[in-house]
């Protein structure tokens, strides 16, 4: 439950010492209420007040950044359990794992695979986010040299350094520590040293334990040492992951276990493709997997795009006159709305007919045909506007538009208002091939 500024003010020492950087305790309280300041900035705050505030001013899941620059990955800061409640905000970073025992050439190859992965769907670039290097060699020298190879020419590629031995981790951080790599992982044995390393480089730290309770205890120790850029490591098969990840998310959102208010890291090296899909659906914020095949990689990136699409905002396509195939001046013109899903579905089925045609996309503010007709966003005026703006008459030498089946109530008005003839097409894009065969011989 979020506290109001005045409630927070009551918990502060009310000294107006300005040491937090704010002129008064009240203005500091207002910042805390908005999540724009951390309670730690106040040197005189009581532990009790800090824990009360810590649990109420921060988002239920801490925001964490991995890497620097345009490729950096920001995760956490999530507020809901179901995407339909609002949206999932920060999509998981997907990292390919490689062992430092692999050859230098293989390491270069996997880095190339990550960097060359470019998939564009509905106008958005989908990317793999980085590389995870595991210190299976056990040798500080080899770990460092593997990282030198991986980062040559790619200093900005986000990294996960996976080593339990502090000496090995330190050697790795010596190569790339300034680029905020994710440190995997602090456990019961090495926690103090790893916290020291995380502090030295300002890098985010993953804690690893046997279950959520253990993880919460470890993060409490880390925050006690001043480390707050933390992640919780989960591993195991899909079922184990889903059960723990669900519990962590539920407890974090309920704010009942402050030590669990951190994004989840899923080591899916053993579960691969199916593990990555489970990670995306069930709250993982960084997923490390073996390098996937090209088709698996595409399915994973598209799944991530689907699950992290904001349900409140339809994805839109820019209105305009689009070509399917290589249309001539006599080829048919299909009209539809600028809801991207409608566009891409229709385009796919039109391409499958292997006949060229024109696709006139008018601006319905991203609404689907049915909702646009109901809300008056698809109207004769919008159609006329589209015909004129995109100079349809200059491109074709006929005056016939094929409109979606669900827009049939508008057919008469469109004809009158635009002077174009209207043919009512099918309701379902899947029927477009049959429609073309019968109606447009």
Partner 1 sequence: MTLTYSPGWTASIREVVIGATASEGGTRRVSYRIGGEADLPAIGPGRRPLIAFELCDDPAIWPEVVRCACTSLIDNPPDWARYVDTILGVDLIRLNLSSTRRRNFIAYDAVSRIVRDILAASSLPLMIEGSADPDIDSKVFQQCGEAGGKERLVLGTAEAARYRSVAAAAIAYGHAVIAQSPIDVNLAKQLNILLREAGVPDDRIIIDPYTGALGYGFEYTYSTMERIRFAALKGDGDLAMPMIAAPSDSLTVKEVRGSVHSHETAIAWEVATSVAAALAGAAILVVRHPGSVQPLKESLKNLWPEGGMI
User: Is the CB of 354 or the CB of 391 nearer to partner 1?
Assistant: 354
What's phi and psi for 84, nearest 5 deg? -70, -15
Please tell me the distance from the alpha carbon of residue 171 to that of residue 199, in angstroms, as a whole number. 15
C-beta neighbour count of 21 within 10 angstroms: 11
Q: How far apart are CA 332 and CA 30, in angstroms?
A: 61
Beta strands 400-403 and 333-337 are parallel
Tell me how far apart the alpha carbons of residues 118 and 75 are, in angstroms, rounded to a whole number.
21
**What are the percentages of helix, strand and coil residues in the chain, rounded to 5?**
45, 20, 35
Nearer to partner 1 (CB atom), residue 13 or residue 348: 348
Find the angle CA(194)-CA(197)-CA(201) to the nearest 5 degrees. 145
Residue identified by tokens 């890291």 is 265
Which of residues 69 and 311 has its CB atom nearest to partner 1 in the complex?
Answer: 311
Residue 324 or 422: which CB sits closer to partner 1?
324
Residues in the site for partner 1, rule: CB under 8 A?
82-84, 121, 211-213, 216, 237-239, 242-243, 246-247, 250-251, 254, 256-257, 271, 273-274, 277-278, 280-282, 293-296, 298-300, 302-303, 305-307, 309, 311, 341, 344-345, 347-348, 351-352, 430
The answer to whether 187 and 209 have CB atoms below 8 angstroms apart is: yes
CB atoms within 10 A of CB 365: 15
Shortest distance, position 321 Cβ to partner 1, whole Å: 20
The encoded tokens of residue 295 equal 């088709």
Comparison of 239 and 419: residue with beta carbon closer to partner 1? 239
Closest CB 323 distance from partner 1, rounded Å: 16
CB of 118 to partner 1, least distance (A): 15
Q: How far is the CB of 276 from partner 1 (least distance, A)?
A: 9
- Residue 202, number of CB atoms within 10 A of its CB: 11
Least distance (Å) between residue 41 CB and partner 1 = 30
Q: Give me 206's structure tokens.
A: 């993953």
The nearest distance, CB 351 to partner 1, in angstroms, is 7
Are 274 and 237 contacting, i.e. CB atoms less than 8 angstroms apart?
A: no
CB of 108 to partner 1, least distance (A): 24
For partner 1, the closer CB: 199 or 255: 255
Q: Which is nearer to partner 1, 70 or 295 (CB)?
A: 295
- Name the minimum Å distance from CB 296 to partner 1: 5
Q: Which is nearer to partner 1, 229 or 340 (CB)?
A: 340
Could you tell me which of 122, 118, 126 has the C-alpha nearest to residue 347? 122
């Amino acid at each position: 439950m979020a506290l109001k500024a005045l409630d927070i003010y009551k918990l502060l020492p009310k000294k107006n010492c300005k040491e937090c950087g704010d002129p008064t305790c009240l203005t500091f309280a207002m910042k805390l209420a908005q999540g724009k300041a951390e309670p730690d900035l106040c040197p005189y705050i009581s532990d009790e007040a800090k824990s009360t505030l810590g649990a109420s001013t921060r988002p239920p899941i801490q925001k964490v950044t991995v890497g620097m620059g345009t490729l950096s990955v920001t995760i956490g800061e999530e507020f809901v359990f179901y995407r339909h409640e609002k949206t999932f905000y920060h999509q998981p970073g997907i990292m390919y794992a490689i062992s430092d025992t692999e050859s230098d050439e293989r390491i270069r190859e996997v880095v190339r695979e990550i960097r060359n992965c470019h998939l564009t769907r509905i106008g958005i670039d989908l990317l793999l986010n980085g590389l995870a290097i595991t210190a299976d060699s056990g040798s500080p020298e080899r770990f460092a040299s593997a990282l030198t190879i991986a980062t040559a020419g790619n200093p900005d590629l986000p990294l996960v350094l996976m080593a339990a031995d502090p000496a090995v981790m330190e050697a790795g951080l010596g190569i790339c520590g300034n680029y905020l790599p994710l440190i995997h992982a602090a456990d019961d044995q090495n926690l103090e040293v790893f916290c020291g390393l995380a502090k030295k480089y300002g890098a985010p730290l993953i804690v690893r334990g046997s279950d959520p309770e253990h993880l919460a205890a470890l993060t409490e120790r880390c925050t006690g040492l001043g480390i707050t850029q933390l992640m919780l490591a989960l591993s195991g098969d899909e079922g184990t992951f889903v059960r723990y990840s669900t519990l962590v998310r539920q407890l974090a959102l309920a704010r009942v276990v402050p030590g669990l208010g951190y994004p989840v890291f899923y080591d899916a090296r053993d579960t691969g493709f199916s593990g990555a899909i489970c990670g995306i659906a069930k709250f993982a914020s960084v997923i490390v997997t073996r390098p996937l095949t090209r088709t698996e990689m595409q399915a994973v990136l598209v799944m991530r795009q689907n699950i992290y699409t904001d349900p409140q905002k339809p994805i839109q396509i820019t209105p305009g006159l689009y070509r399917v195939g290589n249309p001539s001046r006599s080829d048919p013109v299909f009209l539809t709305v600028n809801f991207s899903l409608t566009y891409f579905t229709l385009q796919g089925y039109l391409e499958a007919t292997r006949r060229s045609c024109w696709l006139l996309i008018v601006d319905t503010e991203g609404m689907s045909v049915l909702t646009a007709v109901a809300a008056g966003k698809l109207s004769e005026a919008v159609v006329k506007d589209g015909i004129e703006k995109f100079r349809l008459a200059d491109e074709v030498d006929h005056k016939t538009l094929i409109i979606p089946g669900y827009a049939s109530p508008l057919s008469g008005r469109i004809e009158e208002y635009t002077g174009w003839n209207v043919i009512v097409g099918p309701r379902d894009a899947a029927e477009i091939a049959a429609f073309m065969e019968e109606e447009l011989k």
